[in-house]
């Protein structure tokens, strides 16, 4: 899609509804000139006013505009009219990863390792650009036409120069220092990678409990248990134990994850 200083809704043919997200809906759309198919996220300004999220959205657009990685969903452009803001996004044709997880109940070790490897690569790229996503969860992971993982929705991302203090998202994926509202840095994404790896292999996140306080207690204790079924390799459990570490400085680095035996032997290099 050629770059253009000012896009407008009349540049696009709107197609089917593909998702409901924060503050608005997502549609399939085709840019008329190039015929390029995109996902168009419509955000109502009234909602942004109501939740005072203008700065949030501006930060997301700045952050995502500067990112270009095969496993990060591209934000090609944005524009607005009197009542709405539009995000012109890369279209991930195989949709939301969590729907695939629900239908398969749990992933094979090869599929799980491939997704963890893609996530580690994408997060290493983001951290190099001093961006912490902070809200990595299956709902924010999409799959493109080839089944490649794409991290989406940087609605909670921040520049990591300063230490961060704000709470965000469901707490299942939050690292101890975040649920304790302590200072946190990019190592929160490493913790979340451990949570996701567990959920990909077992179908549920590791610290689930009847209520949020139960989950909070299990996170703070790092109360990690591995069910006997489905059978999971020792190497996979080893990686999870090296990520779900309370002391954020002791969590396996993204570079070391990419070299971990479980990833090296199971991940599909084509991503």
Ligand X SMILES: Cn1ncc2ncnc(NCCc3cnc(NC(=O)Nc4cccc(C(F)(F)F)c4)s3)c21
**Total Cβ atoms within 10 A of residue 265:** 12
Q: Which stretch binds ligand X (CB under 6 A): 85-93, 123-131, 186-194, 238-246?
A: 85-93
∠40-140-178 over CA atoms, to 5°? 135
Minimum distance from CB of 87 to ligand X (Å)? 6
Of 53 and 253, CB closest to ligand X: 53
- Structure tokens belonging to residue 262: 């479980």
CB contact burial 94-113 (16+ within 10 A = b; e otherwise): bebbeebbeeeebbebebbb
Binder to ligand X among 72, 77, 92, 239 (CB under 6 A)? 92
Binder to ligand X among 57, 195, 263, 267 (CB under 6 A)? 57
**Total Cβ atoms within 10 A of residue 189:** 28
Q: Is 135 a catalytic residue?
A: yes
Judge contact between 218 and 152, C-beta under 8 A. Answer: no
Minimum distance from CB of 22 to ligand X (Å)? 4
Is residue 39 involved in binding ligand X (CB under 6 A)?
Answer: yes
Quick check: helix, strand or coil at residue 44? Answer: strand
The rounded distance, in Å, linking the Cα atoms of 11 and 6 is: 10
Compose the 130-169 pattern: x for residues touching ligand X by CB under 6 A, - for all others: ------------x---------xx-x--------------
The rounded distance, in Å, linking the Cα atoms of 107 and 101 is: 7
Q: Which stretch binds ligand X (CB under 6 A): 17-25, 101-109, 224-232, 236-244?
A: 17-25
Judge contact between 195 and 204, C-beta under 8 A. Answer: no
Is residue 43 involved in binding ligand X (CB under 6 A)?
Answer: yes
Is residue 218 involved in binding ligand X (CB under 6 A)?
Answer: no
Binder to ligand X among 23, 27, 86, 173 (CB under 6 A)? 23
Quick check: helix, strand or coil at residue 20? Answer: strand
The rounded distance, in Å, linking the Cα atoms of 30 and 232 is: 43
- Structure tokens belonging to residue 197: 């790896």
Is residue 56 involved in binding ligand X (CB under 6 A)?
Answer: yes
Is residue 101 involved in binding ligand X (CB under 6 A)?
Answer: no
Binder to ligand X among 1, 15, 53, 79 (CB under 6 A)? 53
Of 103 and 255, CB closest to ligand X: 103
Which residue intervals of 20-161 are DSSP H helices? 45-50, 54-65, 97-104, 109-128
Is residue 196 involved in binding ligand X (CB under 6 A)?
Answer: no
Of 95 and 169, CB closest to ligand X: 95
Binding site for ligand X (CB under 6 A): 18-19, 21-23, 26, 39, 41, 43, 48, 53, 56-57, 60, 73, 87, 89, 91-92, 95-96, 142, 152-153, 155
Query: So which residues are the catalytic ones?
Result: 135
């Amino acid at each position: 899609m050629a770059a253009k200083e000012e896009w407008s809704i009349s540049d696009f043919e709107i197609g089917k509804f593909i998702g409901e997200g924060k503050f608005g809906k997502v549609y399939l759309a085709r840019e008329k000139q190039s015929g390029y198919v995109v996902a168009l996220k419509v955000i109502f300004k009234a909602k942004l006013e109501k939740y005072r999220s203008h700065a949030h959205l501006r930060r997301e657009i700045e952050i995502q505009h500067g990112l270009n990685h095969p496993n990060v969903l591209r934000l090609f452009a944005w524009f607005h009219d009197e009542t709405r803001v539009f995000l012109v996004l890369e279209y991930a044709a195989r949709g939301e990863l969590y729907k695939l997880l629900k239908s398969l109940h749990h992933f094979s070790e090869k599929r799980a390792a491939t997704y963890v490897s893609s996530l580690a690569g994408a997060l290493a790229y983001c951290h190099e650009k001093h961006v912490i996503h902070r809200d990595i969860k299956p709902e924010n992971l999409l799959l493109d036409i080839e089944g490649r993982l794409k991290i989406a929705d940087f609605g909670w991302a921040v520049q990591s120069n300063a230490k961060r203090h704000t709470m965000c998202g469901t707490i299942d994926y939050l690292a101890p220092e975040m649920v304790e509202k302590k200072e946190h840095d990019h190592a929160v994404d490493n913790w979340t990678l451990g949570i996701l790896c567990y959920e990909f292999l077992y179908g549920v996140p590791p610290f689930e409990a009847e209520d949020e306080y139960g989950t909070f207690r299990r996170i703070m204790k790092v109360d990690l248990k591995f069910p006997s079924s489905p059978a999971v390799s020792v190497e996979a459990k080893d990686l999870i134990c090296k990520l779900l570490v309370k002391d954020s400085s002791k969590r396996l680095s993204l570079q070391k994850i990419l070299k971990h035996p479980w990833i090296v032997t199971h991940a599909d290099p084509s991503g």
